[in-house]
Amino acid sequence: MDTVVPLDAATAAHGAKAAGLGALRRAGLPVPVGVVVPASLEGVDLRAAVDGALDALGRRAPLAVRSSATDEDGPTVSAAGQYETVLGVTGASDVVAAVLACRASAAGPRVTAYRAATTGAPAAGTPAPEVAVVVQRLVDARAAGVLFTGGGRTVVEASWGLGESVVRGAVDPDRWTVADGRVVERRTGTKRTRVDRSPAGVAAREVPGADRGRPCLDEATVLHVAALGDRVASLRGGPQDVEWAVDDDGAVWLLQARPVTAALPPDRGERDPGGPLAPRSPRDRADDGRAVLRGTGASGGRASGPARVVRGPDEFGTVRPGDVLVCRGTDPAWTPLFGVVAAVVTETGGLLSHAAIVARELRLPAVLGVAGATDALRGAGSLAVDGDAGTVVVAAPA
């Protein structure tokens, strides 16, 4: 009978995510203890293997359950956020249910749509990949986020609480650029919500007003996080996309590392003195009088099309090919729209969110973190989106 494998012993046979984390643990880097559930484990054998693994992980310890499919975290396609992740899981029954949810997501609409968009595989009729599953101790994060290495710099984005708010684009995160061992640029985001462990797994809540406009990391921690990212890149032989967390004791943990599949847009030199950013105004004007909204250029290129404000999944059916999708934020459930629209504009999200990564892979222009975009652009007509400059121009005079 197959059984769970200690994360330290994970290989490519267990998917790139598990293999990468195993390599980092073997190199002595700070990766939470965990196990890998092979794709072949099913039924009573799955339940027995998971139950036995909890002796090592902790019977009531909160756990993070993440997919490690054969077609994610690769050198050209990341499948960032497309497979299911379940956080704050406790007990054998709930872990088994989370493992099955991760596996089932391989045949779900967002994974099949992503696969079709990035590889050309038919959305229907293509066999789902095998999915091993990583089960690790959950880090109760004081702050967490993502870093990208490459191009002579390391870009770090972070917010309060678990990293879900950053990777799902639910916040306007803090951002630092590190080069030659020092912070060369910084931008303090307006972090309004956070995700933390709860009795039900995890839950979102509002960030107190005093914390929204102050950086969630001090400079020493930023430099430590960036240095760990550089070590990961050196060990793995190329630019890396790394998820990480800082616990209440100040320890930094590495939660995931995969190759950077599409480079970040050119550095635009955003700086601030460490205080909160003023909201980006929709009342700016181009020289010809057209309204201009500004945000973070997260995926380069230019595109124009009708503004299509979408407030939730129940409005997906209103989207037409060539529209410019305008929404508050895009969690992975929105990925099928990325193969239809001409560009994406959101009110929240940073350079390193899953939506930004997928947009860059699809060469889809995207401007994120545009304050008030859904209200300002409802009924706006045609929009011109510049993902390099981070601007959205209303094509007709307003």
Q: Inform me whether the pLDDT recorded for 397 exceeds 80.
A: no
Tell me the C-alpha distance between 254 and 226, whole Å: 11
Is residue 98 domain-shared with residue 201, that is, in the same domain?
no
Condensed to tens digits (0 to 9), the pLDDT of residues 234-288 reads 999 999 999 999 999 999 999 999 999 999 987 655 544 444 443 444 446 665 6
Nearest to 265 by CA among 299, 302, 301, 238: 299
Whether the CB-CB separation of 267 and 177 falls below 8 Å is answered with yes
pLDDT at residue 265 in the model: 85
Residue 264 maps to a domain: no
| pTM reported for the whole predicted model | 0.91
Q: Inform me whether the pLDDT recorded for 22 exceeds 80.
A: yes
Q: Inform me whether the pLDDT recorded for 94 exceeds 50.
A: yes
Q: What percent of the chain has pLDDT over 70?
A: 92
Count of the separate structural domains present in the chain: 3
Condensed to tens digits (0 to 9), the pLDDT of residues 32-88 reads 999 999 999 999 999 999 999 999 899 899 999 999 999 999 998 899 999 999 999
Structure confidence at residue 226 as a pLDDT band (50, 70, 90) = very high
**Structural domain harbouring 318:** 284-394
Is residue 177 domain-shared with residue 234, that is, in the same domain?
yes
Is residue 10 domain-shared with residue 121, that is, in the same domain?
yes
Cα-Cα-Cα-Cα dihedral of 289, 290, 294, 296, to 10°? -130
Which residues are registered as beta bridge partners of 34? 136
Is residue 111 domain-shared with residue 155, that is, in the same domain?
no
Tell me the C-alpha distance between 232 and 149, whole Å: 9
Is residue 109 domain-shared with residue 190, that is, in the same domain?
no
Whether the CB-CB separation of 394 and 324 falls below 8 Å is answered with no
- Looking at residue 79, which CATH number applies to its domain? 3.30.1490.20
Cα-Cα-Cα-Cα dihedral of 334, 340, 343, 345, to 10°? -30
Q: Decide which of 243, 259, 275 is a domain's last residue.
A: 259
Question: Looking only at Cα atoms, what is the longest distance across the chain?
Answer: 71
**Count of CB atoms situated within 10 Å of the CB of 192:** 17
Q: Decide which of 99, 119, 137 is a domain's last residue.
A: 137
Is residue 365 domain-shared with residue 346, that is, in the same domain?
yes
Residue 148 maps to a domain: yes
Residue 265 maps to a domain: no
Whether the CB-CB separation of 240 and 258 falls below 8 Å is answered with yes
- Looking at residue 255, which CATH number applies to its domain? 3.30.470.20
pLDDT at residue 119 in the model: 79
